[in-house]
Amino acid sequence: MIKIIDIYIVIITVLKGLGFNAGSKFYIVAFGFGCIILFNKVIKEKYSKKEIAVMVSLLSIGILDYLIGKTTTILFTVITLCGLKNVDLKHIIKVVFYAKIITFVMMILGSSIGIIENTQFLFYRDGQFLNRQTFGYSHPNETHAMFMIIAILYLYLYYEKINIFSIGAIAVLNYIMYSYTYSRTGYWVVIMCLIIVFLEKHIGIMKKIILWFSKNAYIYLFLITIFISLMFGKIEFINKIDSILSGRIEYNNTILTKVRPGIIGTTEVNKYVNIDNGYISLLYEGGIIAFVIISILEIKTSRSLYKKKMNKELMLLLFFNITCLTESYFPSISMNISLILLAIPLFNNIEVNKDEKQNNDIYTNI
């Protein structure tokens, strides 16, 4: 049976999957329609005083970011989080997964037969020109990022069925996609996730290490981001990594050393350089308040998942945290679907894997 939250999730996922960004008027209008649908659900729920206080605080930050900083990302994310009480989160992830597959295939087919413009980028790399295709998206990196998200969601949803053949199949598809987009970051993130899954499933000691790291992965990866960014120009090895990452580390260094993050987020920082790091994006475009709150929720969620041995969910957080080392969409729930897991410390009776008996008791109120 189709649920109200399903309609809302499908609307924002389909629009994002078709290449609309959060600033487009069509996206905002459709999102507003989705909010009306979501509001119908919210008014029927019963919330504790603590939950209401948290929701009001989050919405206030999102509204301030929109009115002052002219960024809609945090607002869209917190509105979605507020509608996730008493919702089976795995069901939501499954809805997103299939919606993204459908829209991705539509973009590939539409751009291949000429219905959608397939903008091509001529890019000089390693002594030769590369013809990078977008398949209707704004940039080849975005195209590969869409594939990367689909691959990650597949690894989560069908984790028990993953074997060497499915890992190989995803690797082949990843290479085929790379042969059109030449997105090195997207390609290697997918490969890294596949390696992690293989090690976690087949090597006992590596499973313990991976899950232990995942428990605090957000903290580790954020600190790695800051350290590497500030050490740019001082350590030759980091400079070489930056050349592979097409200047991403230098961009981060410029932002961190030249611009102070505001209490309230803003998109004005994009006038200096393009942000290609999710942690930097959250800090500057979300603002210090949003950064602190979302960071606390990330840490509480991952530690709760680790304690309850919810390994798949913990690795889902890990995978998206890894992607955000080279992608800026960390604060966007329409791209970073792992953010819906932040509803776990927000509400009572949050359901994950409702249909799986071993997880029927995972209710938490942190």
pLDDT band at 222 (very low <50, low <70, confident <90, very high): very high
Residue 352 within any structural domain of the chain:
yes
- Please tell me the total count of domains within the chain: 1
69: exposed, middle or buried (Cβ count in 10 Å: 0-12, 13-18, 19+): buried
Where in the sequence is the domain holding 180, given as residue range(s)?
4-219+286-359
How confident is the model over 54-74, as a mean pLDDT?
Answer: 85
The confidence score (pLDDT) of residue 358 equals: 43
Candidate from 42-51, 55-64, 79-88, 352-361 with smallest mean pLDDT? 352-361
User: 205-219 pLDDT, tens per residue?
Assistant: 899 999 999 999 999
Name residue 141's amino acid.
N
Name residue 51's amino acid.
E
pLDDT at 141 over 80: yes
Half-sphere exposure of 360 (CA within 13 A, CB side): 4
More confident residue, 194 or 327: 194
The confidence score (pLDDT) of residue 242 equals: 86
> Do residues 88 and 351 make contact, with C-beta atoms less than 8 angstroms apart?
yes
Rounded distance between C-alpha atoms, residue 309 and residue 238, angstroms: 36
pLDDT at 76 over 50: yes
Residue 276 within any structural domain of the chain:
no
Residue 304 within any structural domain of the chain:
yes
Half-sphere exposure of 103 (CA within 13 A, CB side): 24
pLDDT at 3 over 60: yes
Ranked by mean pLDDT, the top range of 65-74, 116-125, 153-162 is 153-162
Residue 327 within any structural domain of the chain:
yes
Who's near 156: CB < 8 A, 6+ residues apart?
93, 312, 313, 315, 316, 319
Rounded distance between C-alpha atoms, residue 288 and residue 261, angstroms: 7
Residue 260 within any structural domain of the chain:
no
Rounded distance between C-alpha atoms, residue 15 and residue 344, angstroms: 26
The confidence score (pLDDT) of residue 58 equals: 87
Residue 227 within any structural domain of the chain:
no
Rounded distance between C-alpha atoms, residue 189 and residue 320, angstroms: 10
Mean model confidence pLDDT for the chain: 85
pLDDT at 235 over 60: yes
State the Rg of the chain over Cα. 20
pLDDT band at 44 (very low <50, low <70, confident <90, very high): confident
The confidence score (pLDDT) of residue 2 equals: 58
pLDDT at 158 over 70: yes
Residue 229 within any structural domain of the chain:
no
Residue (of 327, 205, 353) closest to 275 by Cα position = 327
Backbone angles phi, psi at 88, to 5 degrees: -75, 110
pLDDT at 69 over 60: yes
> Do residues 364 and 344 make contact, with C-beta atoms less than 8 angstroms apart?
yes
